Amino acid sequence: MSPSRSRLVIAVALLAASTLAGGAFTAILFASPEREGPPLDEYADILTTLSEWSPQPIAPDQFVYASIHGMLARLDPHTAFLEPEDFSAMREKQQGSFFGLGIQIQKRMGRITVIAPMEGTPAYKLGIRAGDVITVSTDEVVRKLRGPKGSQVAITIRRAGIDEPLKMTITRAEIPTFSVRYAFMIAPDTGYLLLADFTHTSSRELKSAIERLEKQGMKRLLLDLRGNPGGVLDQSVDVADVFLEKGSKIVYTRGRTSSSAQDYLAPGDGLHFDRPLVVLVNRGSASASEIVAGAIQDHDRGLIVGQRTWGKGLVPRRGAGSREISAISWPT
């Protein structure tokens, strides 16, 4: 490839990356001459050289993504750039559902094995069982599992006790991803509830689970936030609201801009649980989990038990794309 053509490809990749990053690079590409900063020509030359001399052919956008990751790694550990597939996966997770077949899989002895079909999903209704082996590569099975709602996918599985492979055609549907993984009674008057993450459905799931446990005689609750990496800030406020008095300060944020300063108070909406409460945390409890645990501890509402938590006191400022910059701190 000629140098001029290489530079053109790099320029297109830069523009594409800036679009995905919500314009993060656009301000640099079209900055005024008076603005001080590293020359973009040098950066483009480096990318051109890499694309021409790398031992293996690599797409220009991958060089750009790698450079973005390297740049952001110089900041705090929570600032990140999500490539398109990762960004889509994150959005699906936070929405509380995705479109797919409804099976949990794991690679066992080099084979893609069904751990369990999710009850009520297309895979469950079609009769896919735990232990079935899907006869495709790891990359291919991920592409097959998820896709547009209503689209069909053909898969082939092998089942113990049956010599011939089974061919099935499954129609993708909306698959819920639950934040409340477990909710049950561990003693005649004690309930246990595991909240795995904070998505847009977390507070609704939590309230429903508490109401169900109270009908079973629950008079005290063990709330498990161990390994919960956090998620949607508003949901941490809604979850904490269940356990705090109306008007209690849950968290406040401070940043470099005046718009970053905000106090979050318990709105006092809906279900209120005022019985004895114990919250389990560990090193994997981060972000929104720490907001909930911290608020409960600050207001002496419950007992926090476990290990020191992750310590993420930063709120990401997401751009119109797939960049996530830690721009606001939240003390507690």
* Residues catalogued as catalytic: 287, 298, 312
Tokens of 111: 């084979």
Long-range contacts of 124-129 (CB under 8 A, 24+ apart): 126/168, 126/170, 128/101, 128/103, 128/157, 128/168, 129/159
Which residue's structure tokens are 């069909």? 152
Could you tell me which residues come within 8 angstroms of residue 150 by beta carbon, excluding any fewer than 6 positions away? 171, 172, 173
Q: Backbone dihedral region of 120: left (phi > 0), alpha (psi from -120 to 50 degrees) or beta? A: left
Q: Which ranges constitute the DSSP H helices of the chain?
A: 3-20, 26-29, 40-53, 60-72, 84-95, 122-126, 138-145, 202-215, 233-243, 288-298
Nearest to 234 by CA among 257, 211, 204: 204
Helical H segments across 225-276, by residue range? 233-243
Tell me if residue 52 falls in helix, strand or coil: helix
Cα 246 to Cα 196: distance, rounded to the nearest angstrom: 25
HSE value, Cβ hemisphere, 13 Å, CA-based, for 35: 10
Q: What is Dmax (Cα atoms) for the chain?
A: 76
Using alpha carbons, select from 180, 187, 225 the residue that is nearest to residue 203.
Answer: 180
